[in-house]
């Protein structure tokens, strides 16, 4: 009898695994997106990532207003709505969330505050893992630079949006307080209930003679060299490595796995550069 139960139990487990319907959601960073597929990620990146799924149609690209605080209904509320619709429409049972930059914070908000919204528990229970590309888990000194001293400053629009609530939120001391009280996954805090694996961008390569500098747009690479003046020697031009690695675990730091051991700038960590989408595709 005991053997029969064991066999049945194992069979049930295998059935449930075999019939798991896996899906992927790509979640953008700061900014208000209406066509993140083309404008934020590019089709090349998205399609290569989706090829890692048993059914490559089981993906969604999120378009929300991440210029708001992470708890705002236009940010995490919008994300919850789009994820719930995706889960229901495709009958997803195992979800991998792929985030970039501040998208990692919005996802951590949902995972850390499960009763904030009645849609959160189902999303959390369906989420298998988070792959966080250059997450701004510890904020960025650039947000402090934007906010500091100037009430009407309109700077770093392409990276941060304009002095929005999301920019204020990503100041280093503000993120420190959110991490201490509201978000899980950082040292000394409760762990997240699923893996939160970060990909770390450690440098910006903008040598004009180096073709790799042109992946993601050469002008952006030069720009990130300027922003590095506010950052540590290990940074992706927008975030210090210490911020990117603060929550969850580090999956890899760019040069350890990218083609040609190229660094991933903050722009490149969401683009089809140096085999990144294939690495993700093999991981989901």
Partner 1 sequence: MKNLNLLLIPAMFMVFSAQAKQTVYKWKDVQSASQEQTEVNKHSNEYWQTLSGKELKEGVEVALTSDENLIRIAPKSKYENGQVFKAKNLEIEDIKLLNKESRKALKMIQKANQKQMKDAGFDDGSVAVNGVTSGENAILKTDQALNDNDKYLVHVKEKSSKHILSVKNKFKKNKNSNDLPFELTLGNKKIGKNDVALILHSPNGEQIELSYDGKSIQFDQPLEAVGAINGFYEVEALVSTKVKGKTVKRSVKVPFTNIVESANIGTPKLKSKANSAMVSLPIEAQLPGRYAVKATLAKMVKGKLTAMETIEVAKDIDYSDELELPFSATSLNKGKYRLINIEVTDQTRMIKTFPVDVTISKI
> Which residues make up the interface to partner 1 (CB under 8 A)?
69, 71, 113-118, 120-121, 124, 144-145, 147-160, 165, 168-169, 171-174, 176-177, 180-182, 188-191, 193, 219, 222-224, 226-227, 229-230
Q: CA-to-CA distance for 30 and 183, rounded, in angstroms?
A: 18
Instruction: Provide the 8-state DSSP code for 260.
Output: G
Q: Which residues pair with 95 in a beta bridge?
A: 23, 127
Q: Which lies closer to partner 1 via its Cβ, residue 119 or residue 271?
A: 119
Using the minimum distance from each CB to partner 1, give the nearer residue, 55 or 150.
Answer: 150
Q: C-beta of 232: minimal distance to partner 1 in Å? A: 9
Minimal distance in Å, beta carbon 117 to partner 1?
Answer: 7
CB of 223 to partner 1, least distance (A): 4
Q: Could you tell me which of 230, 251, 233 has the C-alpha nearest to residue 242?
A: 233
C-beta neighbour count of 139 within 10 angstroms = 25
Using the minimum distance from each CB to partner 1, give the nearer residue, 38 or 150.
150
Cβ-based nearer residue to partner 1, 26 or 143: 143
Q: Which is nearer to partner 1, 192 or 284 (CB)?
A: 192
SS3 content of the chain, % helix, strand, coil (to 5): 45, 15, 40
Taking the C-alpha atoms of residue 168 and residue 143, their distance in angstroms, rounded to an integer, is 7
CB of 114 to partner 1, least distance (A): 4
CA distance 187 to 153: 34
**What is the nearest approach in angstroms of partner 1 to the Cβ of residue 31?**
12
């Amino acid at each position: 009898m005991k053997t029969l139960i064991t066999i049945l139990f194992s069979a049930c487990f295998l059935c449930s695994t075999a019939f798991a319907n896996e899906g992927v959601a790509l979640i953008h960073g700061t900014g208000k997106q209406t066509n993140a597929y083309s404008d934020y990620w590019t089709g090349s990146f998205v399609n290569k990532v989706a090829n890692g799924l048993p059914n490559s149609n089981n993906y969604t690209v999120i378009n929300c207003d991440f210029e708001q605080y992470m708890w705002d209904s236009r940010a995490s509320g919008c994300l919850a709505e789009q994820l719930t619709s995706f889960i229901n429409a495709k009958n997803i049972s195992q979800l991998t969330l792929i985030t970039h930059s501040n998208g990692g914070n919005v996802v951590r908000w949902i995972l850390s505050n499960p009763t904030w919204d009645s849609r959160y528990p189902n999303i959390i229970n369906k989420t298998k893992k988070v792959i966080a590309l250059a997450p701004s888990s510890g904020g960025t000194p650039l947000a402090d630079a934007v906010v500091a001293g100037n009430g009407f400053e309109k700077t770093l629009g392409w990276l941060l949006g304009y002095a929005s609530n999301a920019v204020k939120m990503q100041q280093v001391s503000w993120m420190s307080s959110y991490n201490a009280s509201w978000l899980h996954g950082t040292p000394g805090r409760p762990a997240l209930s699923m893996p939160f694996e970060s990909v770390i961008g450690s440098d910006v390569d903008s040598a004009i003679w180096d073709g790799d500098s042109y992946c993601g747009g050469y002008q952006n690479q030069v720009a990130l060299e300027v922003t590095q003046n506010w950052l540590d020697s290990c940074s992706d031009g927008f975030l210090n490595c210490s911020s990117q690695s603060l929550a969850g675990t580090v999956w890899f730091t760019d040069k350890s796995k990218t083609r040609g051991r190229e660094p991933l700038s903050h722009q490149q960590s969401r683009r089809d550069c140096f085999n990144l989408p294939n690495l993700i595709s093999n991981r989901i």
